[in-house]
Amino acid sequence: MSLVTLNPATGRRLRSYREHTARHVDRTLDAAARAFEAWRQLPFARRARHLRAVARELRRGASEHAALITAEMGKPITQARAEVEKCAVNCEFYAAQAAAFLADERPAGAPAQRYVTYQPLGVVLAIEPWNFPFWQVFRAAAPALMAGNAVVLKHAANVTGCALEIARIFARAGIPRGVFQTLLLSGKRTAGLVADPRIAMVTLTGSTAVGRQVAAIAGQAMKPGVFELGGSDAYVILADADLEHAAELCAESRLYNNGQSCIAAKRLIVVEAVRARFEALLVARLQARRTGDPREASTQLGPLARADLRTELHRQVRRSLRAGARLLCGGTLPRTPGCYYPPTALTNVRPGMAAFDEELFGPVAAIIPARNEAEAIRLANATPFGLGAGVFTRDRRRGERLAREQLVAGNAFVNEFVRSHPTLPFGGVKLSGHGRELGAWGIREFTHAKTISVS
């Protein structure tokens, strides 16, 4: 079977790749298991030198890496360059901090002769998505490798070129053979990979549906996992919010990465007293974004990654309109080549509509009216997802209280849009997954805490 990549800006075929055979998979897993035994013995300082070399290699070829990301999934080129740089920063962060994060600990009150050490798990299977084809891989690989594990990557088929280039980056940086490898497999063959006894752990970023399937297989085999899944992030705009600021950041969050982000601002819950003004400001900002060729630096919105994704997004918009939502802008399929979809805003969105209940993975904002703060919080939490959330208010203490105590999500931001940072834990609750990536919390997910007693 072949894996085919297409340029979503033109619809044209880029390349075709032959899927790896069962024999190749077997050799890859054997090589990873052998490499792990040697890699885990290296001191942190040696692993750190390798990760810093990976960061240098990322920056050395940043223009080519960014161009490949843009070609395969349509990300605007300036955002693609930023993604590559973020990967390099993450490698450097873990190179600098891993030894401290995983240092032996003697908990308060523990007997004098006992302590806790953090040990690597083995071969980590990383199942990664197409929307951030470099970042999602390095977000997991940098801490997993610094913790002493080997990594096998199974990437999304439509970014196969990125998957192979990432493997080449590690090889050019001098990472020992077998420590990081890429497998080219269709989704249908992933189950066997997860169940293979040579795989010690699974980390997955993707849809909730796929996450459920993989988590079930891993659970059956008693394998740990980190799952960062879908999101339908609610941003609450209160009556005392700076509406200009809120509209600008909501538009930026909603359209970033062509609207294809788990932590995008998707459900904008606006107190009725300021809704009309906010709608006008948001629509103006959505329509001001420049749609065009993602290879051009001036482009702010490119195509969706695949034609089927655009079709499904448009169906969700039409279903919401039939259920009573009102269209403020966009909502029409362009007749031009490629997988473009216009910046779209729906208002009068309510529970029971697709735009409220489902994740909208594209440049569509759902505006939801609320009578007051209490109803806004209730609506924000009325979702099976719980990845990110935000609140806009001029009263910072009020905003912090709501973010800390009321919004049910793994990440809650006040007067800014949700984004990840290498130093802080990232992940969700409810159907948005479990486990954490990044920070000290993220690297410890790739270890087991082992109690040692010496008498």
For residue 379, which amino acid is it?
L
Cα 85 to Cα 89, 90, 134, 204: the distances in Å are 6, 9, 10, 22
Cα 401 to Cα 34, 272, 429: the distances in Å are 50, 21, 19
Element (H, E) at 5: strand 2-6
Q: How far apart are CA 168 and CA 161, in angstroms?
A: 11
- 8 A C-beta contact, residue 399 and residue 240: no
Q: Is the dihedral of CA 219, 222, 228, 234 positive or negative?
A: positive
Cα 70 to Cα 110, 173, 198: the distances in Å are 53, 23, 34
- DSSP structure class, residue 159: G
Helix ranges (H only) for 147-222 are 160-172, 190-195, 208-220
- If we measure between CA atoms, which residue out of 2, 294, 20 comes closest to residue 184? 20
Cα torsion 91, 253, 359, 216 to 10°: value is 10
* From 72, 262, 359, 445, the catalytic residue: 262
Within 8 A by CB and 6+ apart from 329, the residues are 283, 286, 287, 342, 343, 344, 345
Within 8 A by CB and 6+ apart from 442, the residues are 139, 143, 226, 425, 426, 436
Looking at 63-177, which runs of residues are DSSP E strands?
Answer: 114-120, 123-128, 150-155
- 8 A C-beta contact, residue 341 and residue 304: yes
- 8 A C-beta contact, residue 207 and residue 229: yes
For residue 49, which amino acid is it?
R
Neighbours of 63 (CB within 10 A): 13
- 8 A C-beta contact, residue 105 and residue 405: no
Q: Active-site residue 262, yes or no?
A: yes
* From 128, 165, 228, 445, the catalytic residue: 228
Which residues are tagged catalytic?
228, 262
